[in-house]
Structure 1
Amino acid sequence: MDPNSPIESEPSGSENSFIKPEPLDSPIVAPSISGVASTQLSPNIPTTHLSASGASLSPDPSTSTPQAERGTPTSPNVHIKTDPEIEQKESSESPDIESNSTDYLERLITVNVPETLETGVTIGIDLLDQLKAKLSTFQNADVDVWLETINTLKESAKPTRTVVGVVGNTGAGKSSVINAILDEERLLPTNCIRACTASPTEISYNHSDDPSQLYRAEIEFITAEEWIKELQILFNDLIDGNGAVSRDCSNADSEAGVAYAKLKAVYPHKTKEMIAEGSPQEFANEPAVRGVLGSVKTLKESSAKSLYSRLQHYVDSKEKITGHEHKKRNVPMEYWPLIKVVRIYTKAKALSTGAVLVDLPGVQDSNAARAAVAEKYMKSCTGLWIVAPITRAVDDKTAKSLLGDSFRRQLKYDGTYSAVSFICSKTDDISITEAVDSLNLEGEFAESWDRAKELQASVSSSKSLLEKLTEEKDALGERVDEIEAQLDIWEDLQSQLSSGETVYAPFEKSRKRKRPSKSLQSRKSRSPYGSDVDSVHGIDDNDDDDEAYEDNSSDKENSQSIEKGRPLTEDDIDEKLAYLRAQKREIRDERRGLDAQIADARKQMREAKSERQEILDEIKVRCIQGRNDYARGAIKQDFAMGIKELDQEHAAEEDDAAFDPDQDLRDYDEVARSLPVFCVSSRAYQKLTGKLQKDDFQGHGFMSLEDTEIPQLQMHAKKLTEEGRASNCRRFLNDLTQLINSMKLWASNDGTQSTLTDVEKRREEMHLRKLLNDLETGFDTSIKESVKLLKDTLQEHVYSVFTSSIPAAIAAAPNTASGWSAPKQLGGMVWATYKATVRRNGVYSGASGPHDFNAELFDPISRNLATGWERAFQRRLPAVLDEFAAKAKKQLKAFHEAAQDRARQRHTNVSGIVTLSSQILAHMRTIEQLPITLRAVITDLQREASRQFTPAICNAMQYAYQVCTEERGPGSFNRMKAAMANHVETARYTMFNEATDTVKEQLEAMCRTVQKRLSDEMEDMFNTIFRDYMKVLVGTTVDRHAKLPPQELAMRANVNDFLQHCDSMFAPVLGETGVDERMETTCTTQESGANSAVESQNENSSDMASIKLEAPTETRVSVDRPDDKEDVIPGLEHDSTLAEADELMQQQIRAQSESVECE
């Protein structure tokens, strides 16, 4: 098509007909829906400009086409006479070819396995890199746009993050559970001071392969402004009415004690006098502190132990770490009060798929900056894990209370009840006796208990036998010692006799003596027959002294009355030595028999002990599993009952007369079943994996890692990421499909593709513009209807509750305020807590628990609103978005079928139609993804809006908080109570309206954001459709008389060839190899079709010279007029010239343009 043709010119003042949303007064910003949504995929076609009224540039049927000519979809042929061969060639092209060169890619998009999709994304990124290299061989404006589009698409392939918040009370074992999930003995930092000083800790996967950076951490510190605000609160808590440090600073649990501990941690050399005389600004400006505030400290280590040690330096007390409490002069500055958030990066397999665990210490932190960070994480959490010790989880009804009513209600506002998982920790902490009794397992284990008792008796019997045998063996050892001593004496006598000396028998007499208290090892060193007798399973063979015994050894010489003084002969000595040696052999044989008996007794005792331990382990396993099952069921039911109570509370307050407590508002059994509950033992898991070597912990009762349920929890963490990963991958692959299709249309365009005459092109363009206008109008109408439904839903379920609940809140406000200062026994606060709360703008968590004046004032509205809010955002609004997607897909399908039928009837660019069919499927997948993406946008914005109620109440209460904070001296508490009561009485008539109006503005801004996102997305899609269909069905946008440079033609041919075959890159992902035969056939068909089109165009051009001329300068056009006259140009006479037809069509187009401008 000639770009200078009037058909290309747009009417002045025209604008896009998609809804123009109201200005975004709110600062709400939503993330981009698609990585390439805002990038035009074609540099050739200008953005279409459509009128605000929805009119198109196609001729108005009422003015340009007679009514009788608009009856059927078929049209007459306005043609130039051509060679019959060409007509035969055109008719030989089958319009039924549906081959598709992105077959593998489109099949891959339907896969549900995230790992497979991610492999496809990796291949897609490689494909884009190759495509960039081929495009870079030639440079012009078109190539620059394509390169920018490719880079944008690559950016959208970044992995998604799935944030999982981990919450629980102090002592719940959160840190141990997280360390076990990470497969680390100790990585998560802990703090020994107070639970409220802990920082939010984010743990995510470390993608670095540098051995020196396998473990990384980032410590972000609060800013100077945030520290000054914190110091102001600390000074107010610490300084009394006389301007001195309060005496309560020595009480660690008091507000003054907490403030003093923080100040001394950061400023260890400041005395009480220096603190009293200082100011927050002066303290914040000290060089050591100023150098830390607002900074981020990065730590890199090769081991978890090293990183943990360095983290402790920042997050824990130096007093604990150094142990140099007495060296006050050398006490270093501590950093824990200044930390905002800690981020840890580790190569834990549980986090490898994108899960991010966040240890949340609580949103009512004493530090406002940390509380804000915790609140931010809560808003962005995809999952929420609640940790409680199993010994308290059931008794404390933790699943039902969910850490407080306000926390539970906020889950309902956020729509995260379905994202909650419950973790019962410390399952190894169990009393078998209590468990058997509580679980009624006595009968089940009766035989096991009896057998265990028998085995215990056997162990005791074996122990007694061992002691007896050991004593006998020891006695034999004594006799051996004596015989060896006598052998030494007689051998000496034998030696003396041999040397010629006269020897006499030694004198021996019976004597009574105690058994020597020598160790068996010492005897063993003297006697080759000695053997060590080990203690067996706690039996100490050497603990008891033996009774005195008689030495009954007497030799034959004594029995034969050998007289002392008679010299010994050689025979006497030989006889004596023989006797002693025989006696020694006899004892040795006897000891061997005892050794065998001892070994057998030990074996029996070991076997009995082992069998008994196995029985006890089985009983323990059964008790642990039984308690786990009981706790799991009880927690599921408590969780469901907690939701039921909220539902009934709202239903009763909404319509007390119609409320039926026996009528369930939802399937609470399904709610219970859907709650994931894990009963874990982090210590047993770490012990079984070879950690905790220094801990004397026996993992009895845990036969395998699966018994600890940590592996199941790790798998659960991975599974939470699957939906987001798959969705992100499909979005990328779908956008890649669109890009490939659009680039194929562009790359195959060499300026010679069009086979239509100028008249035919204008006629086809007018028809296509009419179809496009209908599509645009349909999109326009669907967006308007959807936005209206969004607003109607909010009015019905949210705004109406505002109106009905505000009077109740106004009426309850005075009593709520007076309750804060009531006597403690009636639920009121003591002066110190009341003072600390007003100093912190009504929000404080101390020893007496959390307090939130603002939330309590708003509670009458919040209770009534929770269910309606949940219904609107979790059910109705998603349904509206799904309905929009269904309508848009239906409209898109109708448009494509109409355009495709027209093209087949005209035998227009069959191969191009195949590409358009693939492209339209990609567009439909984009539309299917829109509700999912917009639900995420709405979720983020509504979570933010739901948190604006109490800040608005807080702003309205500022005057009262300031007045109460400034009160000093005698009677100050009474004056504080009076000031609070007076202010609440005055402000209650306006502050609730102000709070709800604030949120209403946020929600209206949300509607405008959704409206704009829908309009932008559908407009981008429409522009792509306009370009692609115009290119394929009407003809090239390149000047048909212009020639592309040879270098560009070569580059386009190279790109086109690559795009025609790149789909085979995805075959291995689907388990297939090589190039699919169908794809090869498709490429051949498309190539032959393109060649035929070029040949047809060339032949048609040459045939133009042979057309019969009625006048020297005019070419006549033969107009066939069949029964269907839909597209006959009004006013065009039979046998009119080409110039006349062209001029007449231009006049009609100009008239149509003027009509559009007037409208």
Structure 2
Amino acid sequence: MSDLFVKEENRCLLRSPRLSSQMDVDEKFHQGSHVSTTPYSRPGQNSFVQNPEWRQHNENHLKRVLTKEKAAKDGEEALKALLNAMKAHLLLNPSYTVLSRKKTFKVLVGFLGITGAGKTTLINALIGYRNLLPSSAERACTAVVVEIAYNPSNDSDAVFRSDIVYITRDEWRDELERFFEDLEAPVARDDDQDEESDIERRERIKETFDKLKCVYPHIKSMDKLRSSSVEKLLLDPAVCNLLGTVVKVKCATKMQFSKMIKSHIDSGDSDGTSAQWPLVKLVRVFVKSEFLENGIILVDLPGNLDNNSARSAIAEHYQKELSVTCILAEAKRGISEKNAHDLLEKVTKRNLQLDGLYNAESLCFVLSQTDREFDIIEYLNSHPALKEHCAADHQKVLDLVISLKNRLKEEGAAKLVDSTNRKRVREFSTRSKDLKAQLGIASNALPPPGRNVKRSASDIDSASNVIQATAEQMASRNELAEVQKLLNDARKAYHEGAEELASLGRRVSHIRKALFHARSRIRVACIQNRNKAATTAIRRDYNETLTEMGRESSGPLEVFCVAATVHLQYLRMEPSFVHPGFPHRPDTQIGRLRDWLVSTTFPTRESYAQAFLEDVEATLDSMMPWIEDKYADHKMPVDIREQWEPQMDRELNELQNQFSQLKLRASGGFKQLVRTGLYPKMPEAEQDAVSRAKDVVEGWAKGLHWSTHRSINRNHGDWKDSRRRDHKWNGLLVHELTTPLVSSWDKTFTRTFPTERDAYVVDGQKLIADFADKVSDANFCPDVANGLAVLKDHIMRTQTLLKSQTTNTFEGVTKAIRKAHKTATPALKQFLIPIYDKCASEGGAGHYARNKALHKNTMRNRGLQMYQTGTLAIRSALDNMLESLSPSFDGIHKAILDQIREDIQLFFEQNSTNGSRRSARRVESPSKIKLQEDLLVIIDNLAQAWKSEVNTQPKQEIDDEDDEETTFDDAEFFVVDNNDEQDEDYEYKSDQD
């Protein structure tokens, strides 16, 4: 096999002619994971698939995303098939590079809220599995961070999987050592008019002891624990073998799986058995759910449950990585304009603002447990307009209650009559049987129950075989005739009474249904009114915050008023089930929340699929001429190549220089934006924060027991106290520093940075287009005009590479920006550690007053220095990010230049009179022909797949929304047109009428 053939076959590189001109400016990027949904432009016209389905500008966003994702999967499979086909031929192919650039979509959706807000129940409802994750209506349940993702496994024994991540030995040692320090410390008292003992210490001991009893069930008392030690507890075989490990759990059924993971998640009573949740810091759950199939990962973040440092660190890490944040609050709190701003904790809200995630695309509020009982009468009295709206139904309820009472009374009387009639029938029937036995008359001669059959005296005579009767027999005969008549009358009365009782039962049932529906209409009106008021208040606070940031809303903030428990009830109950406050399942708003969460993924999923599809298309188009064996008939002579190739090299060097200049301009522009738009604001922000810091530290001590104050100092400013209040002293101080910076920060990084990034892409694409025009001038050698058209097309394709590489680079830039502002909190904490330690060690008379004074004096005397430490940390992180831009741009440019060099080299190799400068032979081998045939089949199959339409209908699941609505219409429960004379009163009429 000649060198030419080896080179030719190993590169697979003669590319199809595709004429293209400079494209219009690419659509704008959106910062972060949200990118433009404008349909993409095609770089060329002569693709191996003309107008594939994924290039159609479908208005249905869901269909557009699903179509591209399906096409991307088809393209991925095609590339893998190509690689397998070419392995036998020792081919090296750009397919590897393309596959390595394919990005897997993943979006973290976090649920934040206080303990008991219903986060776990909501997640169970979203994924459609009742009681998969342990939850409780009576107590806080989830103690660890739980990540819920899609399970791609097809193993029938692993339908449900989880990874249990345990804390390390050092992390458990730290908690044990803190416990024994508390246990052995002398009981401290403060004599500042407060004779109470150290409440926080006592609660810490109790809380940790409860956890230790879960882990070590043999420890039943505090005395038993005192006799142990840190080392002994660490060496316990049941514990030491778990610390620092990841245990994998898999089950075939939900019930079995839920039972197995309960002890790792649920902080409830362990019933004397071992529970491992205190040793667990993270549980990853994998389930089959269409909702999760496209990359959504739900994160259940526990509320303010305990102070374990490992679990707190994991929760903090996840909060930093969230793409979408769902803030949960209980609806029973009664959200209004007065307290709406309290739903989102100050530090969390500030982080969202500085992360560029305080927007309607990345944030939503969820009012949970809207189905919980509340005082309807009190609510109506406090809302006069609503009360008037419900007046008719309220009156109907009163009337129905009276009617029901009367009907029940009638029904009770009818039941007594029915009982009497039954008794009389039974008595007469017994006497009739006795008399017939005396007279020798068969029992079956009696008419069956319920039939009014008269018997004559001749019948009785006949039954007695007309034997001459004695006087006693004659008396019995007469008595039998009388009893038979009474029995017939009793049976008739019983039948009539039973019909009346049944009629009354139907009337009572209908009245009960009407009463249920009237009350339900009132309840629905109250729930909807409460939801509307809460939604309005939350949105008003959101818009006010945007105004403070100097931004306008891009759309209304989504507020979901959900009833997760009711949603799950609808999944398991009979189709006839109707909840009084939610007449049909969509009213629970679980489906609406699920649809919104899925819609937030569309832009990023589309951009990932689009980028990969462009790569696949370019790769396959480049291979088609080689596969189809299409070579140009005309070649350039060697002397022309010798003149032209150096000229190409010079042009490429010039492009490299132009990219270098573009890099300098772009990186300098970004630095200028930060150093003029943000840094000058920092000194003023420091001064402003110092002026408010004294009030902040004074606020720390308000309503705070001295022992809680000491505990927070002991833990360097971060602590959850015995009342489950979360204290973030360092974060609150940083909040004052960043308040004056929010507007400038948002303008610089959320609005101006994307504009500069887009300008960089446009400039880079223009350089590529100008270079393509220069090097594809057919006048130099008209014989290879077709080859030049191919070369230009492939050079123009690097515009897409520039765009995708820039997107990847700025995803990293966004992460760096989000980390930068968070460096202030640890910087301030480090600055204040000596102060915290001094306060934690204080004791004796007046120590609480001294500690409070020390905090105030620190802010007064060293506050500016403290805040300068914070801004220095922020600036240092931002400077590092800005300095990284230049090498990042170099990497982008290198990828483009390498691709163009390869394209130019291939152009010369395939369009010269001799494929190399040493040989003019063209070698045809059977292996090449076989490879060409195999690859063509794969590509043809992909072409057919790309022409097919995607099905946008959701998979049929047990929790698909039912479009049939259930209403509270009285007409459904009253028989208005009834021909039964006995039931004419089924049409409801008030007893007042």
> Is this a same-fold pair by TM over 0.5?
yes
CA shift, 1:346, in A, is 0.9
Relative to structure 1, is the Cα distance of residues 368 and 798 closer, same or farther in structure 2, using a 3 angstrom cutoff?
Answer: farther
| Residue in structure 1 matched with residue 19 of structure 2 by the alignment | none
Superimposed CA distance per residue, residues 1016-1048 of structure 1 (whole angstroms, 9 cap, x where no aligned partner): 122111221122134326845952323789577
> TM-score, normalised to structure 2's length?
0.80
1:584 to 462, 487, 504: 487
2:708 to 825, 833, 857: 833
Quick check: 2:304–2:726 contact (8 Å CA) kept in 1?
A: no
Residue 597 in 1 paired to residue 500 in 2? yes
CA shift, 1:893, in A, is 1.9
**In structure 2, C-alpha distance between the alignment counterparts of 1:251 and 1:975, rounded to whole Å:** 19
CA shift, 1:274, in A, is 6.8
**In structure 2, C-alpha distance between the alignment counterparts of 1:913 and 1:776, rounded to whole Å:** 21
1:257 to 187, 195, 206: 206
Quick check: 1:316–1:336 contact (8 Å CA) kept in 2?
A: yes
Residue 699 in 1 paired to residue 579 in 2? yes
1:441 is paired with a residue whose SS is helix
Quick check: 1:186–1:308 contact (8 Å CA) kept in 2?
A: yes
Quick check: 1:202–1:343 contact (8 Å CA) kept in 2?
A: yes
Alignment of 1:989-1028 (within 5 A): 990-1028=865-903
| Residue in structure 2 matched with residue 800 of structure 1 by the alignment | 680
Quick check: 1:189–1:315 contact (8 Å CA) kept in 2?
A: yes
Relative to structure 1, is the Cα distance of residues 252 and 999 closer, same or farther in structure 2, using a 3 angstrom cutoff?
Answer: closer
| Residue in structure 2 matched with residue 775 of structure 1 by the alignment | 655
Superimposed CA distance per residue, residues 905-928 of structure 1 (whole angstroms, 9 cap, x where no aligned partner): 743434434444543453223333
1:893 to 743, 747, 769: 769
1:689 to 568, 571, 576: 571
Quick check: 1:162–1:720 contact (8 Å CA) kept in 2?
A: no
1:172 is paired with a residue whose SS is coil
Superimposed CA distance per residue, residues 814-850 of structure 1 (whole angstroms, 9 cap, x where no aligned partner): 6655665xxx5xx164321122112212211214522
CA shift, 1:621, in A, is 3.1
Relative to structure 1, is the Cα distance of residues 750 and 703 closer, same or farther in structure 2, using a 3 angstrom cutoff?
Answer: closer
1:369 to 310, 318, 324: 310
Relative to structure 1, is the Cα distance of residues 249 and 802 closer, same or farther in structure 2, using a 3 angstrom cutoff?
Answer: closer
**In structure 1, C-alpha distance between the alignment counterparts of 2:438 and 2:926, rounded to whole Å:** 122
| Residue in structure 2 matched with residue 1029 of structure 1 by the alignment | 904
CA shift, 1:881, in A, is 0.4
CA shift, 1:973, in A, is 4.6
Alignment of 1:1054-1069 (within 5 A): 1054-1055=931-932, 1058=935, 1062=939, 1065-1069=942-946
**In structure 2, C-alpha distance between the alignment counterparts of 1:162 and 1:273, rounded to whole Å:** 49
2:157 to 194, 198, 212: 212
Relative to structure 1, is the Cα distance of residues 921 and 719 closer, same or farther in structure 2, using a 3 angstrom cutoff?
Answer: farther
**In structure 2, C-alpha distance between the alignment counterparts of 1:942 and 1:627, rounded to whole Å:** 39
Relative to structure 1, is the Cα distance of residues 615 and 464 closer, same or farther in structure 2, using a 3 angstrom cutoff?
Answer: same
Quick check: 1:752–1:1040 contact (8 Å CA) kept in 2?
A: no
Relative to structure 1, is the Cα distance of residues 476 and 1061 closer, same or farther in structure 2, using a 3 angstrom cutoff?
Answer: closer
Superimposed CA distance per residue, residues 753-803 of structure 1 (whole angstroms, 9 cap, x where no aligned partner): 872223311332244334434433332222211111111111123322222
2:240 to 286, 290, 296: 290
| Residue in structure 2 matched with residue 765 of structure 1 by the alignment | 645
Relative to structure 1, is the Cα distance of residues 983 and 586 closer, same or farther in structure 2, using a 3 angstrom cutoff?
Answer: closer
CA shift, 1:1013, in A, is 2.3
CA shift, 1:942, in A, is 1.3
- Unaligned segments of structure 1, at least 5 residues: 5-40, 46-96, 325-331, 499-525, 532-565, 648-664, 1074-1159
CA shift, 1:938, in A, is 1.8
> Which amino acid is 2:774 matched to?
A
Query: What percent identity do the matched residue pairs reach?
Result: 23
Q: Which deviates the most, 888-897 or 1038-1047?
A: 1038-1047
**In structure 2, C-alpha distance between the alignment counterparts of 1:495 and 1:966, rounded to whole Å:** 109
> Which amino acid is 2:128 matched to?
D
| Residue in structure 2 matched with residue 618 of structure 1 by the alignment | 521
**In structure 1, C-alpha distance between the alignment counterparts of 2:426 and 2:305, rounded to whole Å:** 78
**In structure 2, C-alpha distance between the alignment counterparts of 1:422 and 1:209, rounded to whole Å:** 35
Residue 720 in 1 paired to residue 600 in 2? yes
| Residue in structure 2 matched with residue 940 of structure 1 by the alignment | 815
Quick check: 1:99–1:914 contact (8 Å CA) kept in 2?
A: no
**In structure 2, C-alpha distance between the alignment counterparts of 1:1053 and 1:1014, rounded to whole Å:** 42
1:903 is paired with a residue whose SS is coil
Superimposed CA distance per residue, residues 277-310 of structure 1 (whole angstroms, 9 cap, x where no aligned partner): 7665564444433221111121111222222211
**In structure 2, C-alpha distance between the alignment counterparts of 1:281 and 1:1031, rounded to whole Å:** 69
| Residue in structure 1 matched with residue 128 of structure 2 by the alignment | 183
Residue 413 in 1 paired to residue 293 in 2? no
1:138 to 72, 89, 98: 89
Superimposed CA distance per residue, residues 14-44 of structure 1 (whole angstroms, 9 cap, x where no aligned partner): xxxxxxxxxxxxxxxxxxxxxxxxxxx9699
**In structure 1, C-alpha distance between the alignment counterparts of 2:697 and 2:532, rounded to whole Å:** 45
Residue 1051 in 1 paired to residue 928 in 2? yes
- Unaligned segments of structure 2, at least 5 residues: 5-9, 15-43, 190-194, 452-468, 951-993
| Residue in structure 1 matched with residue 978 of structure 2 by the alignment | none
1:674 is paired with a residue whose SS is coil
2:148 to 203, 224, 247: 203
Q: Which deviates the most, 701-710 or 228-237?
A: 228-237
Superimposed CA distance per residue, residues 135-184 of structure 1 (whole angstroms, 9 cap, x where no aligned partner): 22322xxx34x2xx434433444631110000111221111111111111
**In structure 2, C-alpha distance between the alignment counterparts of 1:703 and 1:819, rounded to whole Å:** 47
> Which amino acid is 1:892 matched to?
I
> TM-score, normalised to structure 1's length?
0.69
1:959 is paired with a residue whose SS is helix
Relative to structure 1, is the Cα distance of residues 987 and 261 closer, same or farther in structure 2, using a 3 angstrom cutoff?
Answer: farther
Relative to structure 1, is the Cα distance of residues 641 and 281 closer, same or farther in structure 2, using a 3 angstrom cutoff?
Answer: farther
2:386 is paired with a residue whose SS is coil
| Residue in structure 1 matched with residue 172 of structure 2 by the alignment | 227
CA shift, 1:250, in A, is 9.7
| Residue in structure 2 matched with residue 666 of structure 1 by the alignment | 551
Superimposed CA distance per residue, residues 312-357 of structure 1 (whole angstroms, 9 cap, x where no aligned partner): 2233358x343x5xxxxxxx54422221111111112221221111
CA shift, 1:699, in A, is 1.4
CA shift, 1:454, in A, is 4.0
Residue 957 in 1 paired to residue 957 in 2? no
**In structure 1, C-alpha distance between the alignment counterparts of 2:142 and 2:714, rounded to whole Å:** 18
1:471 is paired with a residue whose SS is helix
Quick check: 2:199–2:707 contact (8 Å CA) kept in 1?
A: no
Q: Which deviates the most, 273-282 or 350-359?
A: 273-282
Relative to structure 1, is the Cα distance of residues 913 and 529 closer, same or farther in structure 2, using a 3 angstrom cutoff?
Answer: farther
**In structure 1, C-alpha distance between the alignment counterparts of 2:615 and 2:424, rounded to whole Å:** 96
**In structure 1, C-alpha distance between the alignment counterparts of 2:224 and 2:74, rounded to whole Å:** 65
| Residue in structure 1 matched with residue 76 of structure 2 by the alignment | 125
| Residue in structure 2 matched with residue 108 of structure 1 by the alignment | 55
Alignment of 1:532-681 (within 5 A): 568-644=471-547, 646-647=548-549, 665-667=550-552, 670=553, 673-681=555-563
**In structure 1, C-alpha distance between the alignment counterparts of 2:584 and 2:252, rounded to whole Å:** 30
**In structure 1, C-alpha distance between the alignment counterparts of 2:76 and 2:599, rounded to whole Å:** 25
Q: Which deviates the most, 288-297 or 618-627?
A: 618-627
User: RMSD of aligned C-alpha atoms?
Assistant: 4.0
Quick check: 1:190–1:198 contact (8 Å CA) kept in 2?
A: no
| Residue in structure 2 matched with residue 66 of structure 1 by the alignment | none
| Residue in structure 1 matched with residue 916 of structure 2 by the alignment | 1039
Alignment of 1:400-549 (within 5 A): 400-418=341-359, 419-429=362-372, 430-437=374-381, 438=383, 440-495=385-440, 529=449
Bigger radius of gyration: 1
> Which amino acid is 2:727 matched to?
H
**In structure 1, C-alpha distance between the alignment counterparts of 2:339 and 2:130, rounded to whole Å:** 28
**In structure 1, C-alpha distance between the alignment counterparts of 2:785 and 2:527, rounded to whole Å:** 69
> Which amino acid is 1:583 matched to?
L
**In structure 2, C-alpha distance between the alignment counterparts of 1:431 and 1:117, rounded to whole Å:** 51
Quick check: 1:439–1:626 contact (8 Å CA) kept in 2?
A: no
Q: How many residues align?
A: 877
1:172 to 94, 117, 120: 117
Quick check: 1:193–1:317 contact (8 Å CA) kept in 2?
A: no
Q: Which has the higher contact order (CA 8 A, sep 6+)?
A: 1
